[in-house]
Amino acid sequence: SQTIHQWPATLVQPVGSPLSLECTVEGTSNPNLYWYRQAAGRGLQLLFYSVGIGQISSEVPQNLSASRPQDRQFILSSKKLLLSDSGFYLCAWQHSNYGYTFGSGTRLTVV
């Protein structure tokens, strides 16, 4: 069966520090992968998506970047975190034409 793993579950980082969040999918190949962020009052905002290795589409210009070094690995990064980067980050994979399954999320607090 297919599963999605996301870590860490919680993270507290100082302003200006780097960030790396990892997401991996098991049991499928060449999935479409997505990074969303839930910030206060903003709902679920799409940040990046990828339809294959090395292919990244950015939806919102910001302080973050994404990479897909392997077929089932999707990484969200930042070189220098801002206070406004705080939020709940969710990775998802698309398992059908319209169905997404989400990971358990990472709560990032920038202090």
Partner 1 sequence: DQQVKQNSPSLSVQEGRISILNCDYTNSMFDYFLWYKKYPAEGPTFLISISSIKDKNEDGRFTVFLNKSAKHLSLHIVPSQPGDSAVYFCAAKGRNTPLVFGKGTRLSVIA
Binding region for partner 1 (CB under 8 A) = 6, 9, 34, 36, 41-46, 49, 59, 88, 90, 92, 97-105, 107
- Return the number of the residue (16 or 52) whose C-beta is nearest partner 1: 52
Least distance to partner 1, CB of residue 85, Å:
18
- Return the number of the residue (61 or 98) whose C-beta is nearest partner 1: 98
Tokens coding 76: 């969200």
Least distance to partner 1, CB of residue 109, Å:
13
Q: What is the DSSP letter of 83?
A: G
- Return the number of the residue (67 or 100) whose C-beta is nearest partner 1: 100
CA distance 22 to 32: 15
* Tokens 């960030």, located at residue: 19
5 in Cβ contact with 90 (< 8 Å)? no
Least distance to partner 1, CB of residue 79, Å:
25
Q: Which helix (H) or strand (E) holds 10?
A: strand 10-13
